[in-house]
Structure 1
Amino acid sequence: MTPYFFRFVALFVSLFVASIAQADRPILVGGDLNYPPYEFLNEQGEPDGYNTELTLAIAEVMGMDVNIQLGSWDDMRSLLEQGKLDVLQGMAYSTGRTDKYDFSPAHALVHQSIFARKGTAKVNNLNELAGKEIIVQRAGVMHDFFINSGIDAKLILVDTHAAALRLLASGQYDYALVANLPGLYLGKELELSNITPVGRPFGANQYGYAVMKGNTDLLAQFSEGLAILKNTGRHQKIYDKWLGPLEQDGFPWKEVGLITGSISGILLVILGGIVVWNRMLTREVSRRTDELKQQQKQLMQADKMASLGILVSGVAHEINNPSSLLLLNLPVIQEFYSDAEEILEAHFQAHGDFYIAGLEYSRMRDEIPSMLQDMLTGAQKIRRIVNDLKDFARETPDDLKEPVDLNEILEVAIRLVDNTIRQSCNQFKVEYTQPLPYFYGSAQKIEQVIINLIVNACQALETSNQAINVRTFLKDEHHLCLEVWDQGKGIAPAHMARLCDPFFTTRREEGGTGLGLFISSKIVQEHGGSLVYESSSQGTKAILTFSVA
């Protein structure tokens, strides 16, 4: 037995231990400590805001362990470039930044605004700021812009948007250039009543996750998680919770009301008959608007699914290649270690315990086989999840004539929401009736309905000790069923008749939109099936029924 052999074994074990240690380290996520409502430290000194909640949701659906750290923006960018942070959870995209950073698809659009003290004339374009003293955030997107713009303005650099607005309100300098929503938010919070935006918001920057150039594997995880949240509607709930109210508050309703009132008064004085004509037009516009909204929802959903399909295809290609290498090489390594184990064991019996890569052989000899097997099982699970996501995002035919196996799509749906199930419930039971006849329809759409029912059941539980039971069965020779029963808090009798109404929800304060069961109900109706609910203080039962093909 040559020294080279032991060196090889030691190198193999050390590399393996290093890879395990790296995998166990949480992903370090950075952000701005004072950039509300996107990200900020709350009263308890903890990370909060839209970006923070979105990051935690992505970590949940992707099974990632993240550690969120907020500090001054300049420091966060420096830590990312030094490798002390893995990802920034919110950075405005610009072409000048692509030399250093890679960006995920945008999860928001961030506009910039020019703030000044009241009484200052409006600014129509940035060239009018030449020769002025402008307050901007250090290392922010406006700082980057002015460095390369050629506009001869004196820049006053501060660490936060709040510091910029305070300086301006105190009577110092001419203007402050800050992000629109954070500026409006901080102006109200700090009660800075003597400053106001002068001019319209500009520079709609795409705002998303950013990593150092080349860190595509990590970026793909966040991009994939974001696509899943968008497809399931969870991203929209988080967006509406944090950004919706401020966007509405920022609209100049008072000015619009005054202008509308003046015009209406003039028109009423000139031609009273226009009132009747206006009512007729209003009815027609309302009808057309409803039609356009419905078409827009369909286009948005189609765009989401197309984007998810493109993303999944790219992610599947990037993940399947290394996964294939793992699935190919791990059995070889297992066989290699099995053969080497006899030699190592003989050496152990003859000379006693010895060290490999700083660890006792007596400890590692029982652990390495199980480690290798766990790695192989994990690689197989990665491939299965990628295949499930590809099936979920695949475009479905409109004629609903695909043979659907209810047991098969139930298995896929459970795998996709496995993390949500495990976090909500310790007692999850599934019963499959075998064999089960198929029915005609769209597997993807029915999978969406099942995911919705299981997630609703998880959200209804008050403790993790309450159970969820799911089963498939034949109601009779012509109908097959899927039943989801939870031991949660149940549904109030007054709400039962409104469960499938659009925008009806009892979870509005938690970000619920009331569209999940409405969409599910429409999908079931398209398939000629039924979705009924039974509820009591002991929980809720949802029963999905389809006609046998």
Structure 2
Amino acid sequence: MCSTAVEAWQTDENIIFGVHSKTAPLEWRNNGVDMGFHLELMSRIGQMTDKRIVVRRKTFQQLLADVHDDTSPIDVIAVVSPVTIDRQLSQSDPIYATHAKAYTLQGKEFIHGWHDLAGKRVAIKKGAFVDVYITGQAQEFIRVDVDLYETGFQQLISGDVDIVLAENFVARRLMPHYPSIRSSSAPLIYGAFNFVSNHKNAQLMAEINDALRQLKLSGEYDRLVNKWFGTGREKVDLSNAQQRMFWLAILISIISALGMLLTGYISRSLHKRTQALNLELAQRKRAEQQISSLSQQFQSVLDGIPHGVTLLNRQCERLWSNDNNNELLTSTEFHFMHGDTFNLNSSLVTVLESQKSLIADMIYRDQFWQLQLHPIGNDQAVILLEEATERHNLRQANDEASRLASLGELSAGIAHEINNPTGIIIHSIAFFNHALKDLQQAADAYQKQNPFWLIAGLDPNRAMTELQVSSLTIEEGAKRISRIVNDLKRYALPTVTTEHQLLNLNEVVKVSLRLTANQTKIFRLITQLNEPAPMIMGDAQQLHQVLINLIQNACHACKPATGDDADSDTISIETSTSADGVSLTIRDTGTGMDSATLQRITEPFFTTRRSGGGSGLGLSVCSRIIKEHMTEMQFSSRLGQGTSIKIQFLSVSDSIKALKLPSLEQDT
């Protein structure tokens, strides 16, 4: 056919009808044949306009793009339009009414109107009539665009959205596949199905409207509506294979029934002949029943095995299988532990030729498996597949525990060695502090004699101040090293008691910030310390350790501030008092954590920064210290939105009662 003839075939004699649904009753396919209300209605219109209807299946988004494209071969599509809003296209008279309403998970509150959607995440199908209706209107809800209503249902189940606004016919089809979803509102939007075309086909749409009106006047339109939307006329898509299996099952049942009748007739005939043959037949039947029973029991045992069992011949044909995890054998993602992909054919030939079993550890995605391939004679082999993920994880955990146990023994020795030089530093720096006080007077006197005298390039007064601050910083750091070493020892001996004292919580925060100043200086840091300063009962050094660890974790989760970048992450520390006691809150706007990570963050040795040197002990130790202070640490976090950690301390009087400490009046 020449190009001119093809063009004429496409434009003059045919109507290219674009459809996207494959499910009854509007547009669907049964055994490869296109059917449905829209298709039959359009076919009848084609007969009345002397045009041939050609069906083209595409996605909904492709059809929307085609109908807006003057060069597209698609002439007409069927879509839903809100009854109050016309699409900016050439469209037919209304074909059939429908509506859209809200769908939620079972147990969620009923949606009484648009106001109940405020603040909720609502899934909207892009380009659908719900999208057309709300476009340009004020929206108090959070809109989440999806490509299909089914995508919205899946996101509703996974918790990514709260509500799905879906068209009635599609939702009715999807809900049997998603039993946890229910209809939760009366109709929110009313719409009507229309045939829609590009403005270039305005004449074609006029012909379609004339034909549609004639069908309504003649009553044929009502017949089509009753056929496809009448009560009890839900359509079911049966494949040829299913039908063949159904008739094959009936045929096998008939043959089995005939066989049973024939067996009964032969048995009665033999019984009439001789007593001896009857006895022999009875004995044979009993033996067959025992063998059959044993075979069924053996088959039940094999079918009940959770691991995959498959019997193959040399040609790699499956002779028998319990159908457990056999898809792994032919998957390209199923490979040996060392990385080579598993090839069933070559492995089977190797085992049969060598008559030696193959036992190997395998990996499939994030799972670990053990593969066993054993020869049975020269032409058959059996494959056993067993998931070993838990066993692999336990082995890794055991290896990790062994390494950590060795590390603990090593740490005890290192701690002892660290304590010695730390003690020397503390002792020496104390001497420096006393010496600086005495030298201050000498420095003042010498400066009067020599006004231009400098110490390390600085004014003497400033230099002496810097020396005192540096001396105190060294002493404080050495004491912290000593305390951390002792805490490391105490982690293995949690029964060691700690003396709690009256503390200024604001001072604890300030000391911790000084010790982490080198890390926090590149971040936007906000402190809001309550005045008057909240007082608590506790161990200052241990609370320093907790707060320093939380500040360091916040730094790891945030990106550094750059100039006046308003979008950079922020770390804030706040102290406050209330009727329930005293609280300390550390917030950051960093990467945040998912729910699975949030549940495990206080587990010993659990860390998301293993490759970056994290040991997973920081928050575990912090959790233990907080529990020793008879208080609690509350976590809240969301991915991409940051993390908030609130430590709620008891009041001083409640702490004294809970920790069984002497009262402050008695101490006084």
Alignment TM-score, normalising by the size of structure 2: 0.32
Alignment TM-score, normalising by the size of structure 1: 0.38
Q: Bigger radius of gyration, 1 or 2?
A: 2
Higher relative contact order (CA 8 A, sep 6+): 1
